[in-house]
Amino acid sequence: MQSLNLYDRLDIFVKILYIKHFVEKSKDFEFYKNLYQKHIKLYNWCIEDHKKSINNFEKDFQNLIKNIQNNWFDPSYPIFIGQSWEILSGAHRLACCMYFWLDPFFDIQEGEWISWGYEWFQDNNFEEVELAEILWCYTDYNKDFFIYVLWPWLVEYEKEIIWDLSYYWVYIWWYSLGFNKTIIHELVKDLYSYEVWNISWWFGLNTKIIHFEKYKNKSIKILVFHATQPIERSIKDDLPLHYKCYIWISDWTETFYTFHSWESQKENNYIKEILLSKDNIQSYYYRTIIDDKDKFISRIIELRQYMFENNIDITDICIVWSSVLAIYWLRDAKDLDLIWYDVNTWNIQKINKNIEKFNYEYSAIISNEDIISKKENYLYFRWFKYIHPKLFIRIKESLYREKDIFDYKLLQNMYIHDKSVALKKICLEVKFFKKKYRTLFVIWWINITKKLWIYRAVSYFRRKFILKNL
């Protein structure tokens, strides 16, 4: 399947996203269902062969998914492709084969091929988070890609840049990300955290951030290219492009504010985690600016230095507990708590008084491995993964300690209400004072009645007589 021109058939990745969340019975299935329905409705108005409505399409697709999952691919129904390996028909079957890692059967035919590339999705006004999610899926199945970030000053030269870079690579897609002061501050710090981890260097990034805030154009542009051959060079080695940047600008200092790209494939993947994750992009709208002198940041730097010195892979860990609240400035975190893929991999439980590792499974409702490996369960902050607040809410909800109840309310309120309200802890304390202590009273009452055998007696009566007769 490596020879297929998939960058012109991005609809296949919409279908793969549907399959993934349908098979896994994901809580986010509704989002991907709407995305699938949207691209079908816009393309053929839900009319194809015997199918006359979107319900017909979905029912047939779900039957196909179950059939291929249970019986594999049927070679009597091959996927038709053109002479140059363009897909002519069978996109749903191909998507199933790609998701379940099956080898499909192809049949070369003459015919017109359909282009569902970036222009089609762009012209049909797909949202930023939808575009980012499709791009993420594409890069999961096609490793030869790179991401290129145009800072505000260079956005107006986008067409010239795409023209130059298309000499080396195939241009797949772009999307714009609007920003305010908070978003650009946190985004720049997160992106440069891969290469900048000394606190004095972070202070230097503030100059870049202040410079971006001056531009009238409050957006950056993310470009994604497909490499037709293995990537062996950084875009930063493209001297003609650098030369053009010097011509375009009037002040030589502006060259430091033009673009951001990768110097290694690992950094390229890190940029992908930051800019192509739907949830990660949305998280910036809830964050607040954290001072570089803050104790929480100093602990992050301590951890980064320790992992660098001990050659520990950053992608194998995730930050949990109160650090999640500190990232959103909801309350302070006294230390950093970490979880690991394999609890036995790293035998040291405590690096210092501020950083501690769990040598056991973090939660009863989800494994450490699932938290760290599945992108819907984590976000990024300053080079590190941290547990997704929505998953953290579920975990806190399952606990009954006093601080867990309050933390649960803090995070829940952040998603329900306006950010400016959610980030003011004092308002939250007042707002949830009554609810908090009402809940604590119920827990206290249950504990008391358990000791007095009242609770058990009532529970026994309910099971024996009431539930039995329902």
Cα 203 to Cα 59, 172, 207, 262, 395, distances in angstroms = 55, 35, 8, 21, 36
pLDDT (0 to 100) of residue 457: 66
pLDDT (0 to 100) of residue 343: 55
pLDDT (0 to 100) of residue 12: 93
Rounded to two decimals, the pTM is: 0.74
pLDDT tens column, 96-150 = 999 999 988 888 888 777 788 888 888 888 887 888 888 889 888 887 788 888 8
Under 8 Å between Cβ of 222 and 274? no
pLDDT (0 to 100) of residue 252: 46
Under 8 Å between Cβ of 32 and 17? yes
pLDDT (0 to 100) of residue 465: 58
CA-CA-CA-CA dihedral for 342, 347, 351, 354, to nearest 10? 50
Strand residues in 317-374 grouped as ranges (E): 317-320, 336-340, 350-352, 355-357
Give the single-character DSSP code of 62: H
pLDDT (0 to 100) of residue 470: 42
Residue 425: CA atoms inside 13 Å, Cβ hemisphere, count?
A: 10
CATH 3.30.70 fits 130-283, yes or no: yes
Residue ranges of domains in the chain: 6-120, 130-283, 295-431, 434-469
Rounded Cα distance, 312 and 350, in Å? 15
Cα 391 to Cα 275, 386, 411, 419, distances in angstroms = 20, 11, 10, 19
Number of residues assigned to the chain: 470
pLDDT (0 to 100) of residue 454: 61
Rounded Cα distance, 10 and 121, in Å? 9
pLDDT (0 to 100) of residue 385: 93
Under 8 Å between Cβ of 92 and 63? no
pLDDT (0 to 100) of residue 232: 53
Any idea what the Cα angle at residue 290 is, between residues 127 and 383, rounded to 5°?
A: 65
> CB-based burial of residue 391 (10 Å sphere; 0-12 exposed, 13-18 middle, 19+ buried)?
buried
C-alpha 401, offset from chain centre: 30
pLDDT (0 to 100) of residue 436: 45
Any idea what the Cα angle at residue 84 is, between residues 79 and 89, rounded to 5°?
A: 25
Residue written as token pair 């520990």: 312
Under 8 Å between Cβ of 217 and 184? no
Residues of the chain with pLDDT under 70: 1-3, 196-203, 228-257, 292-293, 342-351, 359, 400, 416-470
pLDDT (0 to 100) of residue 420: 42
Under 8 Å between Cβ of 36 and 95? no
Cα 56 to Cα 60, 225, 261, distances in angstroms = 6, 35, 44
